[in-house]
Structure formats: C-alpha cells, structure tokens
Structure 1
C-alpha cells in the first residue's frame, strides 16, 4: 500500500485507500455523518463510474488502527468541466475540532492542483463542521440542493384529481418503461435522448454536463433494474415528452426509493404532466411495497420545489456545494 508523505500531526498515519477498504470507509463515513449513512454498495457504484486515467485519490487517516479521517479528490459527475475537481474531507466527531481536517484538506488541495485542478468543489451539508473548514480555506457557496423525503402513505391522490384530469386531457399517456419491452440499444438511445434534453434544462448554478451516450450507457443502464418504476409521458403521436424516475432502492434507507429526474419537454409544460408523472410513479412504488420517496432539488429549481411541497415532501438541511478557484 502506498504511504503518503506524513503531516505534522502526532499519532496519525496516512495511507492510500484500496478497494478492500470500502466496507470500513462506508462505516467511517456513516459515523462521521449519521444523518447521511453510506453503504459499501454506494461507494462501489461511485467507484465504478470512474474512467481509466481519471484524476482520483482517496487518502485515509488512521490513529493506530482506527480510521478517523479521509480526504478524496475526484472528477465531478455533473460539473465535469476542464480543471474542475471535487474534494471530500471528513473526520470523526472527536477529531473534527483538532488539526486533522485542515491537514486532510491541505493534502487534497495539493494533490488536486498537482493534477491540473483550477476550480475545486466540495459538497457539505449546511450544518456539518466541514463547512466552516472550507470557508476558512477560501471556499464560497456555489450551489445549494434541498434533500427531501415523502412518506408515500400520506399521499391523498384524490386531492390532485383535477390536475391529473388536466394532464390526461392532453392525450398524453403515462406508461412505465417496462411496458416497452427489453431495454435494448434502440430503446436505450430513445431514453437517453429524452433524459439528455431534460438535464440540459435543469435549473442549477452551473449547467449540467450531459454524459455522451456510451458513458451514460455504462453508468446509468446497469442501475435500471426496476424499469416498472420509471414512468414516461407518451404524446398522442408516440413521442416521449416527460419522465419521472422512481426505480432505484436506497439500501441504507429500507423501504425508500430515490426519486431521480422528473421533467417535461418545454412544449408540453403547463399541463400538469410533471405532477401527474410523479403521482403515477408514487402509486406504482406503493404497489411494490415502498413507503418513502427521497429526492434532491437545486434551490433555484422553483417549479419542481413547488410540486414537491404540494405533494408533502419534507425538506431537510441543504447540501451546499462550495467552490474555490486556485
């Protein structure tokens, strides 16, 4: 295992992580931030997205044999602009007030700059101690996402009957992806075209960089194990004009599905289709035994935040993206 240069921190050793460390890294991250539990499968999935030769380093800090801190440098997935890198620094609560977090951040920044990093990002919940660490180091808020959760059992579907009727009056049908048969490449390309068009239009501080089809195929398609939870809005002429993704279980939160992208193409907005899509996906999730829907929305995405508020999503502490140019 590669041993990294030591820092001036008594009792701490630093080493590069290996794939065999993932279970204890997941346990460490869950201890560092109990409100955001992480599973080994989450880390494995994130690591599987990494391309050969991509900038990446995960540094572990150990006090004796105990994992007490971590620093990571990687390529951001939605803001993968040239020179942009994302950092993650975490420490156990009893280490957070000491020198370790600052040392980890310095190690991460030095490595990022050595790899051509010019814009550094970090993501931190607004109440986590790391936020102050980043701010002291010159980072400022760049974007803000609101995580929220809906108890699907509380949904009063009848309360939205008028809006659902308005959506139905357009002639648009709400159809699960599973109804279209096997997810072969022609179907994948059709789905990709819709998702790519909608992602380019998501309100965010920085436009989302859409992956090329082949990369999307490699990263996204393997996650589509439950196509019955992905609902499409199908226009009378057969065109796909909207989507709501509620198909991916969250292992660390039993009974919970991740509510991914929900959106409608511009020409079809204003017809309550996004609301109808979310309701259809929610009804299907309940029928499959799921009770919770969890999502995140950019703070400037007011239309979707308004829909989620009407449905009863309960907002949590914001996930803040901070940014520093170096």
Structure 2
C-alpha cells in the first residue's frame, strides 16, 4: 500500500488529525477545529498519514515550551502500527524541527509501546508527570477567598491574563518542576496557556493567582484543569484551594462529571493538594528528549 504524508491544510485534514488523536489518546481532550486553526504558527507542522486514502496516523512538530526544544509527536492508529508509518512520520517531524534550529527533540509516552518506540530512536526519560482525576458526584462547596482578594474570569475582564505575564506569569512558569526551564513568550502565554474559563485572583488590581478549565468539546462531561498557580507572597493563605474548588464548582454547575490534571512528578505540593481535595492518581506520563547532535 502507498503511504502518503501531507500537511494539514483543509478543514477535512484537521478533522482527520483530530480523529487520530481522539482514537489514540481518548482519555485527553483534543482541541477543536477552531482551536487548532487559532494555534497555527510558522513553527508548527501538523501532518496526516494516509494509506490508499485511508487515514492511518498523524504528527505534530513545533517549538516546545521548554527552552531550546522542539516537540515531535507521531501517532499511528493501533491497527496500522509496525508497518513503518510511525518511523516515516518521525522522520518528517524531525526534519521540521532541525529547520527550526533547536538542539533538542522532545516528546512523550503514556504506554509501554510508545516508550519502546521512542527508545529505538534514542529518546531518554527526562521528566515524569502524573494524571490526577476528580469525579464530580454533586454540588461543590467553595471555601471563601482570602480577605482582600477578588476573583474574576479573563472572559469577563479581557486583557488581565496577557497583562499578568511579567509580574505573575514568569514566576508561575519558573515554578514548573522540569529538567529544563520553560521558555514561554508573551504571545503563547496569552493564547496557548489561557483556559476557558480562566479564574483570576486579584489584589489591588494585580493577578496573584489563577486556575482554569478547558472543557472537552467531544466529551462535554469531561474537562482538563488549566494552570493553577499562586504568587509566592500569597501562598499559605488558602488561595490555591479556593481557586481549585471554584473551578470544580463551575464544572459541576455546567454538567461536567470528570476533571483531570497533569502534575510534574517533582511538584509534590500540588500533587498533595490535589489528593487532599479528592483527586485520584489515574496514570503516569513520561517526558522524553534526544539531542539532535546524537
């Protein structure tokens, strides 16, 4: 059979790309067509692999949020694996990242098959993260916010999130427990890192904490937590708990039954907070990297 790998251009291509992701990792939300379109940047490449016109896999390559890294993600439908499709996709994605001039390839694996594939091509583990899931079975009680704090959403007050990048965002990003610091520019912060709804805690007009949700358009009873963070001088006052529970209450009020989040293995404080609030650990993800010089 003839394998054809093409760049996503039409809406039909993007929907085929979405279909592969939903099939391969059904436990995570997949961006909608509109979200994928809005995320188009010169550095990002989305591919669809077809055999005799039938979709068999897809790929993604782009600059990583990790400094000096380029992300490569090949995925192949289960019934079409071990036929060279993943290797062909990885080759195209790697070529794209080489063209971006980054020294490190980064990827991830959530199962033994994906991990074995990555090891064949020289990828090694650099970080781990755990998925924690909260099941909603009734109304959510929200404890009061600390005195002097007002909580609004970015959707109600557009522009607060982008404006918070320098004073709040940089600190929040620096707190990630990863092998290499994150390198997120203001544009990516204002778009890719923005959840809907995005709850923002304000004190004297400045953002001092955040928590958000992204609902799964394909499975509306499920949502993913966005970034939850509190500025250093506001920690230990119950603000993180208030924001997390506020997001969960919004989910309960909008028919969501399951909220999940990914937390770095080294972020013991957030993992402990999630556990205390009732999140259960449901799976582990492995972050991988390989230097292009190798």
Find the counterpart in structure 2 of residue 74 from structure 1: 62
Q: Does 1:49 align with 2:47?
A: no
Q: Which of 50, 59, 65 pairs up with 1:62? A: 50
Aligned to 1:316, the other structure's residue is in SS state strand
Q: Which has the higher helix share?
A: 1
Provide the aligned length of Structure 1 versus Structure 2.
290
Q: How far 1:134 sits from its partner (Å)?
A: 0.9
Change (3 A) 1:108 1:241: closer
Q: Supply the distance in 1 between the matched residues of 2:63 and 2:29 (Cα, whole angstroms).
A: 22
Structure 2 counterparts to residues 119-158 of structure 1, below 5 A: 119-125=104-110, 127=111, 129-153=113-137, 157=141
**Kept after mapping to 2: 8 A contact 1:231/1:280:** no
Q: How far 1:68 sits from its partner (Å)?
A: 0.9
The structure with more radius of gyration: 1
Q: Supply the distance in 2 between the matched residues of 1:253 and 1:238 (Cα, whole angstroms).
A: 36
Please list the CA deviations of residues 271-310 of structure 1 after superposition, one character each: whole Å capped at 9, or x if unmatched. 3321232123323432344333221111111100001111
Q: Supply the distance in 1 between the matched residues of 2:161 and 2:23 (Cα, whole angstroms).
A: 39
**Kept after mapping to 1: 8 A contact 2:230/2:239:** yes
Q: Which of 203, 209, 216 pairs up with 1:242? A: 209
**Kept after mapping to 2: 8 A contact 1:70/1:89:** yes
Q: Which has the higher strand share?
A: 2
Aligned to 1:15, the other structure's residue is in SS state strand
Q: Which of 15, 18, 35 pairs up with 1:23? A: 15
TM-score (norm. length: structure 1):
0.76
Q: How far 1:30 sits from its partner (Å)?
A: 2.2
Structure 2 counterparts to residues 1-326 of structure 1, below 5 A: 10-20=1-11, 21-36=13-28, 38=30, 41=32, 44-51=34-41, 54-76=42-64, 78-79=65-66, 81-82=67-68, 84-125=69-110, 127=111, 129-153=113-137, 157=141, 164=143, 168=146, 171-173=147-149, 175-177=151-153, 182-185=156-159, 187-192=160-165, 193-212=167-186, 214-219=187-192, 224=196, 226=197, 230-232=199-201, 234-235=202-203, 239-246=206-213, 248-326=214-292
Aligned to 1:271, the other structure's residue is in SS state coil
Q: Supply the distance in 1 between the matched residues of 2:215 and 2:258 (Cα, whole angstroms).
A: 10
Q: Supply the distance in 1 between the matched residues of 2:49 and 2:233 (Cα, whole angstroms).
A: 52
Q: Unaligned stretches of 5+ in structure 1?
A: 1-9, 159-163
TM-score (norm. length: structure 2):
0.84
Aligned to 2:179, the other structure's residue is in SS state coil
Q: How far 1:211 sits from its partner (Å)?
A: 2.0
Find the counterpart in structure 2 of residue 161 from structure 1: none
Q: How far 1:190 sits from its partner (Å)?
A: 4.5
Q: Supply the distance in 2 between the matched residues of 1:135 and 1:63 (Cα, whole angstroms).
A: 26
| CA RMSD across the alignment | 3.0
Please list the CA deviations of residues 252-284 of structure 1 after superposition, one character each: whole Å capped at 9, or x if unmatched. 232233211222221222233212321233234
Q: Supply the distance in 2 between the matched residues of 1:58 and 1:283 (Cα, whole angstroms).
A: 35
Q: Supply the distance in 1 between the matched residues of 2:162 and 2:117 (Cα, whole angstroms).
A: 43
